Structures are given as structure tokens and as C-alpha cells.
Structure 1
């Protein structure tokens, strides 16, 4: 149209459908699907199966190895090499993400979900049942692989061997999986344990029950408590209701379980966009707070910080989500009074300009200045005798004014 290309689609059509077709047909995705299969194939055989040249296949495998590095995985001689925990984690993340673009829901293994439901006396949402079923699908494929490495998992599970949920799963896996004619080892119970705690499978109720039963002295439990205390400290002297505190504790349990047991992440969200949005809307510097929380969590979990591990970077975004939940629930107010002396028309226009700018900051309430009212901050273009922090606006309000005022609000919110 007029020398330009215009893309239009009906309201019932989603770009997700295009993405789904794109991922399914992508050579890299097809390579990864083939590597999940139990039969070993040479590079030549794989090239023939995928109908590509060996040089193209080698190039794609090299690119994939670059992406798999943060998961500590590598494609070598037609096999995916690495810790079994990481392999299953990677495939779950990949398939769950790719299937999110499919118009057809993931199938649910009713028999398996029923086994877990009865064995643990828990209830699972439809989405949680889909997650469980996908985990089973990956498990069944990987059980047929002769050589599996569980060294890191066994080491990390030492503090959890007496955990009540793990003990239940240990009995359930050995007793229940006989129906599937699968030979399982104790590590399968360990994998189920870390999966249930890390991937939004347990309901809020079941999480609360588990938190009352678990040891308070495991690495993740100690970290959950430490980080929750630091987050609650941000709101003192305000009182955070117990139910909100418990909800956030449950989120932290899942966040830290994933950080403790896994590495790498298939990123679903644009982190930079999230932080840009946070900078526009938040009345405090949550990115800085999240970074400090991550440093404390990694120190407690004895994990080395790494900018190359995107799971750690996404953990900061998850801390943002936890803080946002509390912010909105307790609805703390930061009251700003605007005092202006100028022509009435300009006064009205400038007031609304600041109102529009500041009202998007979470918790900020803006109103015209009244001497008898208490404020956290006063914006004025003339001198006011008051003990309240005051900012003198220059002219009609410059970009410098806006950034400085936002910084002042964030400092007061700490």
C-alpha cells in the first residue's frame, strides 16, 4: 500500500500460530527433538533424517552448543551430554515454551496425574496437570538412555533426604511406576521432588502445608526466610498481612528451589522491557533492590554469581513480582502536594502535567497543596516554610526536575 508492506489479520488470528509453525519447522528444534529419542544416531544419519547437508547440521549444532552452554549441556557425537537434571530441565523449559504458542493444549496423562494426586493427597489445576504430564513424557524418553549422570543432584539432595515430601515421593515412585513397566532408581524420586517444588505445580494450599512440614534448616528454607525478612523490612513500620506474607513465602520457595537445583533459563519475557516499565511505574528502585536480594540469596545458597546464567537474571525479575504483589496489596501511599504561584491558566495546566506524570508511580497520591495537610513531599515554584521535604520546580518543569523528583520519591520509599 503506497509502496509499503502492510500486515493485517483477523481478530481471531494470533501471531502465536505463526510462531508455533516457525518453531516446529526450525532445524535447531528438530535436532533437539531427535536428541531426546533413546536410539543413538550418527551425525551422518541425523543429517539424512533431517534432509540437510552435514555442513549445515554441524553449523546448527555449533550454534546450539553456544546456547546450551549456560545449561552446562553439549551436543557431542549425536548425543546430548550433561547432568541428567539439566537435560530434563532444559527439555521441559523448551517444550513448555514452544507449546505455549500451539492452539491445542498439551495432553494430560490421567493415569499418571491420578497416581500423583492420590499418592500425595494433593489437588492440581489443569495447567499443573499438563506440566506433570510433560515431565512424565520427558522422563519416559530419558529412562531408556543407558548412561545418565546424577552426581550434582545427589550432592544437592543431601540436606533433603529426610524431607517429608521427598519420602512420600520415594515410596510413590518405586511403588507406583510399576504400572508403567518402567525400571526406576532413587534419583527419579529426587527429580520429581525438585520438579514439584520449582515449576508452579503445587497449589497455594499444598505449598502452605508443605512449608509447615519441611525442615527450616535446608539451604532453600534458610534462603526463603532470609529474603522474606529483607523484603518485609522494606515496608516497616507498615504491617504486611500474614496471608500476603505466606503467599510471598510460597513464591520464594519456588524461586530459590529452581536457583538451587538448576542452571540456565529459556527466557520467555524481555527482561530489558520489564525493567524499563518498572522504572516508569515504580516509586522505588526495585531493580537495585532485586540485585541486592539476589546477591544475598546466592551467598546463602553458596552459588557463584554469573551474568551468563540467565536464570539468575530472571530471578531478579521474580523478586520484582514478589515486591509488586506486596506493594499493591498493602497500598502504601506517598502523598505529594503541588504548590504553584503563577497565572491561573498555567497553574492549572502545570498541576495536571505533574498529576499525569506522578500518578503512574505506584503508591503516589498527588493533590493541590494545602497548608493544613501532611505530605511526604511538596513540589513548589516558590519558597515555603515547612519541615516537609520540598523541591523547587524550575520554569514549567524540566526533564531534570522529573528525574530528580522520581529519585527523591524512590529514596523516601526505601
Structure 2
């Protein structure tokens, strides 16, 4: 499911307009943008006017300039993707419905229509459209309730809030501080550190768990089937005991399936560290078998004498774990834009992109015994991530970089982005890029860690490196180089 599907026609078009401008040249022609967005001239001009007015009213750092049939985008350096979503979020009836169901669990058409101040006919149309989008998750809204497998419902809400709530607001929005004790207990139990981003991810999942743990009529049939190979798994038993102690504070009787929900999240969403997950691989199970098969594909492009990087194995295992336990994905445009894919692929000179698709197809058919068609957009997401693993395997010898670069995610996810930035920006011998380190001195920071600020000027990437980001960064670098010493 593309995130834009949850917005109204106007807001969806405005998001597509912004995305088109971010991936266009510094000043694109109006004709180019019309072709990219498939909007009429009058509609495009109306959207530009309304966006500029909304940004001005909300004191939001965004402006679209139209000059002699050329269009350019200006956006604040600290604006994030979530900020853009939040600007248009109040107009989304579908997201309001989903949020109401998250809080109330059930509704009547009359009551919900009153809350949303829309007609019942409009509500029925919105529900029908939502059900079409939710189908890839195996979910539907029927008889006043969101129905489907419980782990899929939580997985969907986790993605929805992770993509739409700015990280700088998430702690307050979901009272994440209340879960800090549990997070510290997990860190101590597994003897590992945990990044701020992962602590936010885990706290958000615990918040969703707390919201739903006391509900009746939860469906656990599918997760029990998926967990059968792990029922006597020593690693699962360790997680189970820890989670039973934690969840008992929120319910007098904790269903066994609740511990399963926690297990599949912390073992597939890059929460536990590579050295912890390495122990899990030794206990077998479908995901372990799939990882072994994935390694055979990687060995096709890596000489037998070379050791595989631990991070590559870890990322591969996490993605294959998601393919086993979940279906569907809520994704932003980064995964669907061919220009993004071409930018990463060309920059990494990836000659084996088809291996990612082949790997997924064989794992689904031979090990998971499932049809690839049921994955929905999780197929696009997983193919992208496995391409990143393959890119990393080929280019795992890092160069020396300049300018502080702070990127969220695993090394396999960050290296392609870092490589693109270096190839696009390191055009002057005075300019280099290197990993951000708070103990070192930098003149500038490029970051996608949206909940962090820095003691020097910084710029937030708006997504995968795109033409807009590169153009903005080139201007900043050129301005810096021309400053008097």
C-alpha cells in the first residue's frame, strides 16, 4: 500500500507534485511536471497555490515558485518527510477513520459520521476505498470493527504511525517514556546497546501492544501456524519468559499468542543486535533455512575465500523474517519511484539486481510454501532491501568520507546512500564525506535521523538521495567554499 492511498485526491496530488519536484532538476518545466503527475494545467496551478497558502498559514518552510512556465521547490533544511505528511494529514478522512478504530476498536456508522462531520454516504465510500487498500494486509473493516489477524493489525498500525508521526513528536504522542524500563531490561538481558531509533521503534510497538492487549475477539490463528516450528525453540522460550513478565502488568491473564507477537517483532525489525540474532540462527526454523538459501545466492557473486560481513547476513535475515511472518507493507514513494531505484542501482553499478527477485521467489516457493503474490508491496520493499544487501556485499570496502553524514538504519541500508552522496557531492578535492562522530569537528552534517539536531548547520534528507536533495546540498557546499576564511 502506498501511503498516498490514505489521502484525499487533492492531498494525494499535492504529495505527488512535491515528489515530482524533488526528483526533477533545479527548475523543471511545467510541461515536465504535468507529464510526471498526470495532472491538468489548471489543477496543477490550483494545487501549487493551495500548497503555498497552507504552508504560509502553518508557518511551514515550503514554497513552490512558478516563473515563465518553470517550477522550482524551496524547502527548509530541517523539514522531514514526516513533517510533509503532517502538513496534509488533517485533511485525510481515511487516516482519521483508522485512528478512531485504533482508539475505540469499534464504531457505528451514525456515530463515526458525526465525529468526522461527513455524511453516512461519504463514510461508506471511504470505508470501501480503505478496504481495497487494506486487503494486502489481510485486513478489512466490517460491521464496525477492523478485522484480521492480530499481528497484522499491529504491524499495520506500527507502519502507519512510524511513517506519519514526526520522531520529534512521537515520544509525547504515545507517552513512550513509560516503556523505558522495559527497553533497559531488554538491553541488559541480551547484553547489547540499542540506538535511539530502535528504542523509538520498540516503544511504539509496545504502545500499540498496550492499546490492544485487553481487547476481545482477537484473531491469532495464522500466527500460531507460523510459530509452530518455533514452539520449542530455545530462543523463543527466552523471549517468551521475558515478555510474560513485562505484559503481566497490562493484563491479568496474558494470552500465549501475545508473546508470539512480541517475538516476531523484535526478531524481524532490526531491534536485537547482530550478535544476538546470530545465536537465533543456530536454532533453525524457516527463517534460518531461508537465510541459508539467501547466502547461496550471495556466494554466486562473492568468492568463496572471502568472509561475508556480519551486517550483510543480519540484514538479509531480518528481511527474510518479515517475508515469513508478515504480508503487505505501507511504503512511501521511495520504493515505487523508478528514478530512486536507478539512482541507487547505477551509482552502485549493481550487476546482479535480478538476484534479489530470484532469491525471494525461491524462498517463498521452496521454504515458506507461500505464493509471492500474497506479499503485496512487501515484495517491493524486500526486493529493495535485498538489493541493498547485494550492493553492500559488492562495495563493502568503505572510502574515507568528509562532511558529517548521520544515517539511520543498518550498515547495508546506509552504505548505498553514503556512496551516492559521495559520488554526487565529492566533486572538489576540498570536499569529502565521512561518518558523523560527535567527538570530531565538522562544518556541516547531512542526516536522516529526524529526531536529532546537531551543533553545526545541518540538512535533513527528504528520502533516498534525489535530485532535489543533491541540488540543495550542492548550493550549500558551494556557498560554504566561497565564504572568506
Aligned to 1:112: 182
Aligned to 1:366: none
The answer to whether structure 1 residue 270 and structure 2 residue 335 are counterparts is: yes
Aligned to 1:224: 291
The answer to whether structure 1 residue 189 and structure 2 residue 255 are counterparts is: no
1:23 and 1:200, CA in 2 relative to 1: closer, same or farther beyond 3 A? farther
Aligned to 1:148: 218
Aligned to 2:126: 60
1:176 and 1:149, CA in 2 relative to 1: closer, same or farther beyond 3 A? same
1:23 and 1:219, CA in 2 relative to 1: closer, same or farther beyond 3 A? same
State how far apart, in whole Å, the 1-side matches of 2:374 and 2:346 are. Answer: 24
Q: How far has the Cα of 1:181 moved from its partner?
A: 4.7
Aligned to 1:235: 302
Structure 1 stretch 296-305 or stretch 270-279: which is displaced more? 270-279
Aligned to 2:320: 256
Q: Determine if contact 2:331/2:377 at 8 Å carries over to the other structure.
A: yes
The answer to whether structure 1 residue 207 and structure 2 residue 277 are counterparts is: yes
Residue segments in structure 1 that go unaligned for 5+ positions in a row: 332-359, 361-414
Q: Determine if contact 1:73/1:82 at 8 Å carries over to the other structure.
A: yes
Aligned to 2:145: 79
State how far apart, in whole Å, the 2-side matches of 1:102 and 1:116 are. Answer: 22
Structure showing greater relative contact order (alpha-carbon pairs closer than 8 Å, 6 or more residues apart):
2
SS of residue paired to 1:80? strand
Q: How far has the Cα of 1:41 moved from its partner?
A: 1.7
State how far apart, in whole Å, the 2-side matches of 1:153 and 1:10 are. Answer: 44
State how far apart, in whole Å, the 1-side matches of 2:371 and 2:235 are. Answer: 28
TM-score calculated relative to the size of structure 2:
0.62
Q: Determine if contact 1:41/1:78 at 8 Å carries over to the other structure.
A: yes
SS of residue paired to 1:20? helix
TM-score calculated relative to the size of structure 1:
0.72
1:324 and 1:143, CA in 2 relative to 1: closer, same or farther beyond 3 A? same
1:77 and 1:293, CA in 2 relative to 1: closer, same or farther beyond 3 A? same
Total equivalences in the alignment:
327
State how far apart, in whole Å, the 2-side matches of 1:65 and 1:87 are. Answer: 13
SS of residue paired to 1:329? coil
Query: Between Structure 1 and Structure 2, whose CA radius of gyration is higher?
Result: 1
SS of residue paired to 1:75? strand
Among 394, 401, 422, the residue aligned to 1:327: 394
State how far apart, in whole Å, the 2-side matches of 1:183 and 1:33 are. Answer: 27
1:129 and 1:12, CA in 2 relative to 1: closer, same or farther beyond 3 A? closer
Q: How far has the Cα of 1:38 moved from its partner?
A: 4.1
1:153 and 1:55, CA in 2 relative to 1: closer, same or farther beyond 3 A? same
